[in-house]
Amino acid sequence: MKKNKLIIVLFLLLIVNTDVFSQSTTNSPYSKYGIGLLRKQTFTRSFGMGGAGIGLRSGRDIGLINPASYSALTAVTFDVGYTNSALTLDDGTQTQYQNNSYIDHLAIAFPVVKNVWGASFGILPFSSIGYSYDEVVDDPVAGDVSFYNVGDGSINKAYFGNAFSVKIDSTSNLSFGANTYFLFGYMEHDQRAIFGGVPGAYNIWKRTESSISDFGADFGMQYQKSFKNTKDENFKLIVGATYGMSGDLNAKNSIYTGTFSGSDPTVFSNELKDTIDYIEDGDGVVQLPSELGFGISFAKDRKWLIALDYKSANWGAIQSDDVLYTFKSNYSIALGGEFIPKYDGNNYLQRVAYRIGARHSDSYVVINGIDWVESGITFGVGLPVRRSENSYPRLNFGFEYGTNGTTDGGLIKEKFFNMNVGVTINATWFRKRKYD
């Protein structure tokens, strides 16, 4: 019991020492476009398997990717995650290193009626904005024009989901689930153009602030078939599908455009000249596309599993309000597996869950006619911790190395290394004690 408490305390101290309240959780210049850098909607177990999870069901893990999986829950489950992301930016001539840490998720799930009805609620990041870079453009009329770009913000997701399972026969069932969620947060974009090639010319400053809050929903289904081989070993085949609704998120936009003098973009508060345009808390919308996903998994009970996901998002149906970029429909593929040498073995390393995976996707944004891909390989372990009478804690680690972007057309190539740490605790409440 003392060991369990020690692990939990150490994990909480890790979180407290992170800049939890900082909203900048990325330094990617690609977070400037659209609604920012989309965060993977996965928890640590799935993270270590390339993000695959549409076809996964577990009695002791929360399957946010497919809400239909909640109906498999057999115990009250707490899950908290922390991510550290190391990023290297390369424009073809020089490189830059950045590092960010943030709370990955907080979630609770529980069986309402065991093997029939399960529910879950929690909060996690949906997208992040955080960039700061400058560039010089040679204009044929104005000469060298220096652009200074800074952005910050995040959109968070609070969700509540339910799932129900229907028994088809003694070896198969069909489950349906839905998440309703509330997206909230803000986005800030600041750009300053300095006309250094034109003596006495006023410079331009444009700042956009958006506050976002609205509801949405996604749905899932899973079909599970259980069977045994001639050695009486148990296997499961699960096929799943998910659908995310498109939507127009309510937004309040404040936009300032003005002029200033001087050559320092960071010090000009006393040199503001004219206000070209100003809109305060104007009504607007932020559009989200519909999403469709399919997944399949095959597993030997308490031994191994393999999972494959395919998702597509209809970003191409959304019109961009910026001439610099457009949206396009994109896809993602994830493949992963898990292996436990001996679930009830005496050797601790035999009881560890070892995970591996890979993922690949293309961008949902096209910049000046250029798109790109993002790819990553993942590894993970699930470490069982000595259980107490009423709880079964596990410590999960996930690691990912990958690339995103391109140096074509003056864009940026990113290399990233992400580490995800999660604590999962299964609690058995309301257990009746037996007395002699």
For 361: left if phi > 0, alpha if psi spans -120 to 50, otherwise beta; the answer is beta
Classify residue 381: in a domain, yes or no.
Answer: yes
- 344 compared with 62, residue with greater pLDDT: 62
Classify residue 282: in a domain, yes or no.
Answer: no
Classify residue 296: in a domain, yes or no.
Answer: yes
| Per-residue pLDDT band at 6 (split at 50, 70, 90) | very low
Q: Which domain holds residue 119?
A: 2-205+214-245+261-269+289-427
- What CA–CA distance (Å, rounded) separates 409 from 416? 21
One-letter amino acid at 392 equals: Y
Classify residue 434: in a domain, yes or no.
Answer: no
Whether the Cβ atoms of residue 311 and residue 290 lie closer than 8 Å to each other: no
Q: What is the pLDDT of residues 363-418, one digit of tens each?
A: 999 998 999 999 999 999 999 987 776 778 899 999 999 999 999 988 999 999 99
Mean pLDDT of 150-159: 94
Closest CA to 256 of 221, 283, 291, 281: 281
pLDDT above 70 coverage of the chain, percent: 90
Classify residue 279: in a domain, yes or no.
Answer: no
pLDDT of the residue at 266: 66
Q: What is the CATH number of the domain that holds 82?
A: 2.40.160
| Per-residue pLDDT band at 431 (split at 50, 70, 90) | low
Read off the pTM.
0.88
Closest CA to 73 of 85, 62, 88: 62
Classify residue 250: in a domain, yes or no.
Answer: no
Classify residue 332: in a domain, yes or no.
Answer: yes
Classify residue 432: in a domain, yes or no.
Answer: no
Query: What is the count of structural domains for the chain?
Result: 1
Q: Which two tokens stand for residue 10?
A: 């150490």
Question: What's the CA dihedral at 301, 422, 214, 318 to 10 degrees?
Answer: -70
Q: What is the pLDDT of residues 276-328, one digit of tens each?
A: 888 888 888 999 999 999 999 999 999 999 999 999 999 999 998 888 899 99
Phi, psi of 9 (to 5 degrees): -65, -45
Question: What's the CA dihedral at 382, 387, 392, 393 to 10 degrees?
Answer: -50
Whether the Cβ atoms of residue 116 and residue 164 lie closer than 8 Å to each other: yes
Q: What is the pLDDT of residues 44-101, one digit of tens each?
A: 999 999 999 999 999 999 999 999 999 999 999 999 999 999 999 998 888 999 999 8
- Which of 17-21, 236-240, 295-299, 342-346 is predicted with the least confidence, judged by mean pLDDT? 17-21
3-state secondary structure 144-211: EEEEEEEEEEEEEEEEEEEEEEEEEECCEEEEEEEEEEEEEEEEEEEEEEEECCCCCCCEEEEEEEEE
pLDDT of the residue at 14: 46
